[in-house]
Amino acid sequence: MDTDNPPFPVCSTISDVERDTGLAKETLRVWERRYAFPQPQRDAFGERLYSAEQVRKLRLVKRLLDLGFRPGKIIGHSSDALQALAARHSAAAAPDDPRLHACLALCQAYQTDALRAALSQALLEMGLRHFVTDLVAPLTTRVGASWACGQLAVYGEHLFTETLQMVLRTAIFLTQQADRPGLAAPRILLTTLPQERHGLSLLMVEALCVADGAHCISLGVQTPLQDIVEAAHTLRADIVALSFSSCNNTRQAQDGLNGLRAGLPAAVELWAGGAAMAPMKRRPASVHVLDLPQVAGALADWRRRRAKSCQIP
């Protein structure tokens, strides 16, 4: 028996596609009517099934949407054309840093030990804050683009993530042990909502906060909303920080933030960031939406507000 080729192609349900690409089910249905893509098959129950090639193209479309393209301008192109377009724009957006190109090459060659050594050396040279904003953030974007463009296997992206997490967690532990006399240290609770299973951006935020003298408590990913509220109360959090990757659609992010803001005490600030926040038209009230370079300024603002409130008789 020939076991190399399965008798039936592996297909994804619409829920699988929403989870894996960050494109909402409603968006997929609208595109199906408006652009005749995607064109799913139907199972015996009438449910949509998407081929691996359609999912690949949808990942590329999502990547280009994140880069600012409009769906009507790109959906008609082939996957190969989209891949080339994504590769060109990702390369143009990357800083011209030899360390970034060297780390990306090691990642694409699956040389994890050498990658860990290169990242650790860069951390020593750059310091934790600049390491995150100037190397890790653009490198993560390039690795994601390599995966979307077919230049990196899924397991290669996982190897990169695990390697980077190891380096960042070690740096966070060592930095958090350092004394910061005279500097107010907000207690920051970091996590993601249940639909968000990616934690690398959250770890990057934690590193930046620790580098600025904050006391960070991470719950990891996929924490139920009510558990976040209870943890914020029990652990006396001053700030709750959430991350939303591009695989989390804006409607889910907005609903989660609205529910969390309603459940948290008014004195607890709510911070949010990530690729899913950029296209959000109506951002929830009383939520601080931040990019990575804005974290240091947000912490400085928190300290100023705290000092001012302490001066009020």
How many C-beta atoms surround the C-beta of residue 157 within 10 A? 17
Residue 115 burial (CB < 10 Å; 0-12/13-18/19+)?
buried
Mean pLDDT of 29-39: 94
243 has which bridge partners? 273
Is residue 284 within 8 Å of 253, Cβ to Cβ?
no
Output 19 or 133, whichever has higher pLDDT: 133
What confidence score (pLDDT) does residue 84 get? 84
187 has which bridge partners? 215
For the record, the structure tokens of 173 come out as 């532990």
Give the span between the Cα atoms of 87 and 90, in whole angstroms.
5
Mean pLDDT of 141-147: 83
What confidence score (pLDDT) does residue 142 get? 86
For the record, the structure tokens of 77 come out as 């192109």
Q: Give the pLDDT confidence of 160-192 residue by residue, as tens digits.
A: 999 999 999 999 999 987 666 667 789 999 999
Half-sphere exposure of 308 (CA within 13 A, CB side): 6
CATH of 12-74, one of 3.50.50.60, 1.20.58.220, 1.10.1660.10, 3.20.20.140: 1.10.1660.10
Homologous superfamily assigned to 187-311: Cobalamin-binding domain (3.40.50.280)
Chain region(s) in the chain for CATH 1.10.1240.10: 94-176
Residue 67 burial (CB < 10 Å; 0-12/13-18/19+)?
middle
User: What is the band of 2 on the pLDDT scale with cuts at 50, 70, 90?
Assistant: very low
Chain region(s) in the chain for CATH 1.10.1660.10: 12-74
CA angle 42/48/50 to nearest 5° reads: 100
Output 84 or 214, whichever has higher pLDDT: 214
Chain region(s) in the chain for CATH 3.40.50.280: 187-311
Which CATH number is 94-176 given? 1.10.1240.10
Q: Give the pLDDT confidence of 67-125 residue by residue, as tens digits.
A: 778 889 999 999 889 888 877 776 666 567 899 999 999 999 999 999 999 999 999 99
What confidence score (pLDDT) does residue 3 get? 42
Q: What are phi and psi of 243, to 5 degrees?
A: -120, 140
